[in-house]
Amino acid sequence: LGLRPQEETLSQQLKIGKSQDGFLLELHPKLGPAETASQGIYLAGTSQAPKDVRESVAQALAAAAKAGALLAKDVIEKEPLTARVDPTFCNGCMLCVPVCPFGAIEQLGKVKEGKVRVIEAACMGCGNCSATCNHDAIAMPYFTKEQILAQIDAALAEHPEEKVLVFTCNWCSYAGADQAGIEKIQYPPSARIIRTMCSARFEGDFVDQAFERGVGAVLVTGCRLTENGSDCHYNYANKYTAKRFGLWQKKWTRRGIALERFQLQWISASEGKEFAAKMREMHEAVQDYLAFRHEGEPDE
C-alpha cells in the first residue's frame, strides 16, 4: 500500500511537470521545494510527494509566504529568457505552436498565411520552439543559435578529435556536472560542456557542426525521462529531445559515426557520480576511435 498521485489532469491544466513517481515536480529539491517552474504556482503537502502532517504544514507555510511575497509586489519580475520571434523569417508554418509545453505561442491567422506571437507571461524559456523552427525565426536570449555554434567552434578549435562535446540542461545534467565537482570526483579533461536551459533547446545543426568540425564524441544529456514520468522542469519538454535524438543518431550512423561516439544520457542534479562515470565512458570511446583511426593510417 502507498499514496497514489493524482491523475494527470491538474498537471496538464497548470502546465507543471511530474516526477518519476507521478507527483507534481518542485523547482528544486533544496532551493525551491515549494515552487514550480511556472512562476506563481506553488506546492504543498502530498501534491509534491508523500509527507506527514508536520512536513505538509511546514511546506504550506512556505508556499503561503512565497505567494504573499509575490502578491505584495507592484510589478512582477520575470527572467528575460522568453522566446523572441523574428517576423521576417517566420513563414507561418505553425510547427512551434503545438510543441510549446506551456501553450505560450499563439497562432495568428491560418497556416502559411499568418504569424505567431509569444505570450511572454506564459513562456518559461525552454527553447523547444526555437529547436523546432526550421527557418531560424525564433531566438532564445542568451542561448541563441549563433552563440551556441560559437561555443562549439571554440571548444573544438584545437585537437577536436580528442574532445567530448557535452550538451547539458541547466536544471539537471549541468547541475550533475557541478555536483561531481563539489564531491571532487575526477573525470577525464576531454569533456567540453555546453549549457542551455533545457535539453529541448538542442537542435540538429549543433550536432552537425560538432561532427563536421571533427569532434571525437558527442553526448546529449538532460533531466531524467522514464515511462513513469520525467524530472524535466519544462513539463516533459525533454520528450522532444528523445525523439530528435533518434533522428540525429540514424543520420550520423549512416554517415559512419559509431553509436559509442554519439549518445543520449539522462542525468539528475544529484547524480555527480553518474555524470563522472559517463564522462569516463565517453572518453574511452574517443580513445578507441583514435586508436582505430591511427591503425588505418598508412605507415610513413
CATH pick for 78-140 out of 3.30.70.20, 3.20.20.70, 3.30.420.40, 3.20.20.450? 3.30.70.20
> Cell numbers of 231, please?
524530472
pLDDT at position 25 = 82
CATH pick for 143-296 out of 2.20.25, 1.10.3470, 3.30.70, 3.40.50? 3.40.50
CA separation for the pair 69, 257 (Å, rounded): 53
pLDDT at position 115 = 93
Q: What is the mean pLDDT of the chain?
A: 92
Calculate mean pLDDT across residues 177-202.
97
Q: What is the pLDDT of residues 271-293, one digit of tens each?
A: 999 999 999 999 999 999 999 88
Could you tell me the pLDDT band of residue 30, with boundaries at 50, 70 and 90? confident
Q: What is the pLDDT of residues 62-88, one digit of tens each?
A: 999 999 999 999 988 888 999 999 999
Calculate mean pLDDT across residues 93-115.
95
pLDDT at position 7 = 67
Q: What is the pLDDT of residues 109-137, one digit of tens each?
A: 999 999 999 999 899 999 999 999 999 99
Calculate mean pLDDT across residues 181-200.
97
**Domains in the chain: boundaries:** 9-71, 78-140, 143-296
What percentage of the chain's residues is helix, strand, coil (to nearest 5)?
Answer: 40, 15, 45
CA–CA distances in Å: residue 104 to residues 117, 218, 239: 8, 31, 18
> Cell numbers of 171, please?
536544471
Counting residues of the chain whose pLDDT is more than 70, the rounded percentage is: 96
pLDDT at position 38 = 79
Contact 130, 145 (CB under 8 A): yes
Name the residue among 221, 172, 168 with its Cα closest to residue 26: 172
Contact 223, 171 (CB under 8 A): yes
Q: What is the pLDDT of residues 160-179, one digit of tens each?
A: 999 999 999 999 999 999 99
Q: What is the pLDDT of residues 220-251, one digit of tens each?
A: 999 998 877 778 889 889 999 999 999 999 99
